[in-house]
Structure 1
């Protein structure tokens, strides 16, 4: 879909993240209806037009910025269906991978922090730029967390989960 078509078909409220049809589209979609639905397998909102499925956040980018969407658009608060403009930012593949939730198998509650039974201390580590970096053994989980967050800021900058705006996460919940 090109920018002209996107702007002809949809209107967008940047404060709510809602995309609205400007025109009727088929038997069940009328002008004024909210566009798209949540893709159950991945959680992104999708819009179908002429038999093609489009990621809603990519259409929004085209409408708002008047340019093709970048290869990756990061949802800052990690809520894939939250398409408020303040929650979307251009990202590289690597940057987008940094802003992710902790693994479901993580038992410490802190990404990159693990209990080492061998050393009887908290071990902190981070993977960045294709390498795993050891951040030390720590007596407390708080010290290990601090080491991890410092490394996230160093390697990931604004894409660090430590820098994710908590207000965005609370609003998405």
Structure 2
């Protein structure tokens, strides 16, 4: 997690945030080495935009909260559309860790079926969902697509903050 010593005043002194596009523009360089101009920051290899301010690296979506609200987010920041590089203000929301986990869009790497909430069970497919730290069995289906559809319907009914 980024250091929280950066103040909103200092942030606004060195960066401008376009809330419509989510792009930060460097107004001035603290070190003299970083050029000013649009598109401050870069990809951290995991899809998040990171920006260095006063020799500390911050994730842009967290800087957006500091810039817009004058405070650091107290919880996690969720990218509503699932794109980690889309830091438009309308695409960001403060959520708990559990709420953020509910927005998982892709299955884990070890999922052999390739569909979220679905695993093979003999010649059929089972659908399960996490709820309160436990796995809840939704049902067993003839096809992976049916199991996945049941998972999505169940997910929308129990996870009200889920975006898919």
Q: Into which bin does the TM-score normalised by the smaller protein fall?
A: 0.7 to 0.9
Partner of 2:159: 156
**96, 101, 120: which one pairs with 1:97?**
101
RMSD (Å) for aligned C-alpha atoms = 1.9
Aligned counterparts of 1:71 and 1:148: Cα–Cα separation in 2 = 27
Task: Identify unmatched segments of 5+ residues in structure 2.
Answer: 1-5
1:4–1:107 distance in 2 versus 1, CA, 3 Å: same
Q: Kindly state the Cα deviation for residue 60 of structure 1 after the two structures are TM-superposed.
A: 1.0
Contact residue 17 and residue 24 of structure 2 kept, 8 A: yes
Aligned counterparts of 2:71 and 2:150: Cα–Cα separation in 1 = 40
Confirm or deny that 1:123 pairs with 2:97.
no
Partner of 2:34: 29
Instruction: Say which is worse superposed, 99-108 or 53-62, in terms of deviation.
Output: 99-108
**109, 118, 121: which one pairs with 1:113?**
118
Task: Identify unmatched segments of 5+ residues in structure 1.
Answer: 164-173
- Which stretches of structure 1, 4 residues or more, deviate above 6 A after TM superposition? none
Pairwise mapping of residues 1-173 of structure 1 onto structure 2 (< 5 A)? Answer: 1-40=6-45, 42-100=46-104, 101-117=106-122, 120-160=123-163, 163=164
TM-score by length of 1: 0.81
TM-score by length of 2: 0.85
